[in-house]
Amino acid sequence: MSIDPKILERANRWLNGNIDEESKNAIRQMMANDPNELAESFYCDLEFGTGGLRGIMGVGTNRMNKYTVGMATQGLANYLKKVYTDEAEIRVAIAHDPRNNSSYFARIASEVLSANGISVFLFEELRPTPELSFAVRYLRCHSGIVITASHNPKEYNGYKVYWNDGAQLVPPHDKNVIIEAQKITSFEQVNFDGDNLKINVIGELIDTAYLETMATYTLAPEVIARHRDLKIVYTPIHGTGIMLVPRGLKQFGFTNIHIVEAQATPDGDFPTVKSPNPEETAAMEMALNMGREIDADVILATDPDADRIGVGVKDLHGNFILLNGNQTAALLTYYLVKQWEAKGKLTGKEYIVKTIVTSELISDIAKGANVEYFDVLTGFKWIAEVIRNNEGRKTFIGGGEESYGYMVGEFVRDKDAIISSCILAECAAWAADKGISLYRLLIEIYLEYGLFKEKLVNVVRKGMSGQAEIKAMMDNYRSNPPKEIDGCKVVLIKDYLLQKTHDLVSGSESQIDLPKSDVLQFYLDDGSKISVRPSGTEPKIKFYFSIKSKLNRFEDFKAEDAKLETKVEEIITAMGLR
């Protein structure tokens, strides 16, 4: 295979530059033996997106390594110094997950920031992403960084940036940081000579503050006291959750916690799973096995940076099943709203937030209690923006998205699997107090609001060609939208990139009052909703399917659920995704 001259030029620029000898040897090896890998490593720059960096670790401009992390950090440092010109001290908190090189990248970021005169508060060892969000506010920092690739496979790592409210970057800071990062065109523009006097090591003080604050969000301590021996199985899947989830559950009052020991040790190779993603059944298998062995009441799992949570429960026949992200969101929202209502905490100023691809069941629960709700684009930074815009005027109860991320209360401004674990365990205790299981509680929610069935289909397209394929798919849906799907007419199209809603029945158009985003939604005349969007963090395009029917009797659940399952599969097949 011949090597593209432009790629070769980029590789030679690194090879002849001031990089370490190990990296140079890796480039020489690729040039000699692996031109495909050389192309993938150097065909573009690893994009500093609105959330930061994420990519495969290795040498090259399109990889996560010391130099790409250093360049991103130099850009961030330059922007912070432009914004905070009147501050005597600029402060940044940094945390990392257990991935290979995470602690190294966190140290590189610390050195670059401190070399630029910025005070750094670096966690002594791995910590959950939500704790970093908390630390930014607690330590009155101007920004934060967490080194993580969330639930991606072990080859990946990432770099997420936070602003002074503990939330990920939103306009104008997201675009402005990108502009500054793009100005750093060479690692030779990066100041790597750190100042250790400006690097402060933090740890237990923040842990304690986080847990004490979280404990104030319990809504039913008396119920937990009656069910403190609820059998809880927990796995951190080799991630940061082990640092705080067991402590949090104990602080809430739970005493019967069983940890999957084989997955309790943080390990960037994630040796017991193919992918450390609690959305995948394979990653939950060990926890499910332990659940069966001890006849657990609830199974909880967190991803490597403990911002997403997977939940296992017993079905009506005592068999363990995994809830999807929408079902967990429904249980959390229902519990929070009902408890706030029962305790007289609803004053008319409370609200719920969900993303546009998350189940409408969440908004129906909110509407049922006259609680305001907001729809936002995918990504917790948009939920955090709603909180910031309403701070001091309204109270955020909770919110989430179908991709297993949820937030309770305002003390953290990113998805938080630690408090989600504790509140879900509390919800299980509340259900037990009523003499029912979590699964039975979910069916009762369906009886009250309607039976919802949601499904996600991911189409993976990797590498250079994959990006082009995904773009072509979106372009085709946009320029040639389907007129019908599975025999049902498309009656409404929402295009969040063009910020337009097109009513195909009346022919009218209206404006979408949300930031631009590459998302399309098709509404069918039977009430079904199909959303399509490229992933912002992985090489895939996502298809979200949502259908609904009325559930009149508990006894009808199994048959009605099977009917919806068949229907959603027919829609997926009709779109050529099976």
Tell me the catalytic residues: 150
Using DSSP, state whether 446 is helix, strand or coil: helix
Please state whether beta strands 488-495 and 520-524 pair in parallel, antiparallel, or not at all (unpaired). Answer: antiparallel
Tokens of 468: 């082009």
What does each C-alpha distance from 11 to 58, 272, 434, 465 come to in angstroms?
13, 36, 65, 20
Q: How far apart are CA 578 and CA 576, in angstroms?
A: 6
Pairwise CA distance, residues 306 & 243, whole Å: 10
C-alpha closest to that of 240 among 276, 283, 282, 205: 276
Give the whole-angstrom CA distance, residue 556 versus residue 538.
39
Is 274:248 a contact under the CB 8 Å cutoff?
A: no
Tell how strand 143-147 and strand 91-96 pair up. Answer: parallel
Beta-carbon contacts of 322 under 8 Å, excluding residues fewer than 6 positions away, are: 281, 284, 288, 310, 311, 312
H helix intervals, 450-578: 463-479, 557-574
Tokens in use for 61? 């401009």
Indicate the pairing of strand 232-235 with strand 199-202.
unpaired
Q: In this structure, what DSSP letter does residue 514 have?
A: S
Per-residue buried b or exposed e for 277-300, using 16+ beta carbons within 10 Å of the residue's own CB: bbbeeebbebbbebbbeeebbbbb
Q: Residue 442 in contact with residue 334, Cβ under 8 Å?
A: no
| DSSP class per residue in 315-329 | -TTS-EEEPPHHHHH
Q: Report residue 202: phi and psi, to 5°.
A: -125, 165
